[in-house]
Amino acid sequence: MNIENYGLLQSGVRRSKLKATVCLLALVSLSTASLPSAAQAESLAQALTSAYTSNPALQAERARQRATDEQVPQALSGWRPTIVATGDGGVDYNRTRSNTSPALTTTKKTTGPAGLSIELNQPVFRGFRTVNETKRAESNVEAGRQNLLAVEQQVLFDASTAFMNVVRDRQIVNLRVKNVTFLREQLRAAQARFNVGEITRTDVAQSRARLSLSISNLAVAKSNLRTSEANFVRFVGHQPRKLSHIKILRRLPKTMQQAIAVAEQANPNVLAATHLEDASVYNTEAVKGNLLPTVSLQARYDYRENPGARTNSNESASLLGVLQIPLYQAGRVYSEVREAKQLSSQRRLETLDVRRQVRETAVSAWHALIASRQTIKSFTDQVNANQFALEGVRQEALVGSRTTLDVLDAEQELVDSQVNLVQARRDSIVAAYRLLGAIGKLTAHDLRLRIPIYDPEEHYVGTRDRLFGTNTETVD
């Protein structure tokens, strides 16, 4: 081989190596892009953040709270004057006939009367109704804020439950897929052993029946997963991607008594019921104010053009102090007072009932959490034991001391224990978040979500003393 041919050969080899290297890098990059990375996995905190910012039920509750804020300026309007301007104008035709001597006379006149009046009414004393109505409105606002927190907690709890349901169902589907794969291999092995006369047709039929059951269980698991994914979209707002591992919560109460004590003091449902009870007391006092005298100042100015046949204009003004004393109102106000007292009694009883409900929720969530933790330990031991047993049964079946049904039963027990372990882990996380909700700590602030927290105080401050304007921010 001469030097020229050798150089051409080396050049061809280098080009071939270069092409191979480029193809290898392309395959590596393509395979890497197709695999979901850990950085792309969605955490529970990210799912809760998405639910907090986009859930329509929570957005609607915020709008309801902004509407409740308007009760305060409406109540404060009882301190302020009302001013009404009235204008009128038209045509007045007048015809007069007189039979005075010496002859009958007829007089016709057409005028264009017009007028303007302005009336100001300034309340001075309304039987303490303005004071009590304002306090009632403020209590309703406070109750509304607690209801908003309760809805926020419910939305975050639903989102966390949906997150865990998807995690659980995906793991169950994987277990069912592995079970189907195992049983297909078992059926294939049983058929081969039957062909050589080692086992009977009954063993093959048992393997085939168990495979059919496993395929059915896999179909159910996939259906449950699709349902959980739809539920995830409802509460979180998007399709679930790869979901990351859930960390165990560390901010839980140490004892059940501590959980109950915190729940009765900080649960938003209890606080909302307490504020509604206060509002009912103020409402009773406000209704009683209708039985008391009222004092007001009235100022009025009137101007008339062509008010009569012989008058070109008329102008008047007045300033009056008005005292109104209710003497008898057909029994309506007394009935309203009795009604308000009964509603106040209802609110007190509802507060007591809510406290009992919250206590029950805290106790139930606490015991569910303890039970789930113990169940996880038991199912973990069971899975380990079943894995060891399955390997032993399979080895014994190879030497003829175990039947095919023994192997199938051991595999089924392993799968069932694995599914139970997955369910127990899901129940443990859900019970922990339910306990957080019971003690009033399942909020975006308490969970330390990295997102601006909605502050209802901001709208309230901007609305409380607003005197004019109909513009307001809404969410569509």
Distance CA 197, CA 369 (A): 53
pLDDT tens for each residue of the chain, 476 residues long: 333 343 433 444 344 444 444 343 333 343 333 334 445 788 999 999 999 999 999 999 999 999 999 999 999 999 999 999 999 988 877 777 776 656 667 677 777 789 999 999 999 999 999 999 999 999 999 999 999 999 999 999 999 999 999 999 999 999 999 999 999 998 998 888 888 887 888 989 988 999 999 999 999 999 999 999 999 999 999 999 898 877 767 678 899 999 999 999 999 999 999 999 999 999 999 999 999 999 999 999 999 887 766 677 889 999 999 999 999 999 999 999 999 999 999 999 999 999 999 999 999 999 999 999 999 999 999 999 999 999 998 888 887 778 888 888 899 999 999 999 999 999 999 999 999 999 999 999 999 999 999 999 999 999 999 888 888 888 76
Distances (CA, A) of 175 to 302, 373, 416: 88, 22, 9
At CA 334, angle to CA 330 and CA 339, rounded to 5? 130
Q: Please state, in angstroms and rounded to a whole number, the distance separating the CA atoms of residues 251 and 433.
A: 10
- What does the pLDDT read at residue 245? 72
Judged on CB neighbours under 10 Å (0-12, 13-18, 19+), 341 is middle
Residue corresponding to tokens 């006379």: 105
- Give, in degrees to the nearest 5, the angle at Cα 55 between 50 and 58: 120
Q: What is the pTM of this model?
A: 0.83
Tell me which residue has tokens 């372990």. Answer: 421
Neighbours of 345 (CB within 10 A): 12
Query: Is domain 40-464 annotated with CATH 3.40.50.1360?
Result: no
Annotated domain spans of the chain: 40-464
Structure-token pair, residue 28 = 């590596």
pLDDT at 64: 96
How much is the pLDDT for 154? 96
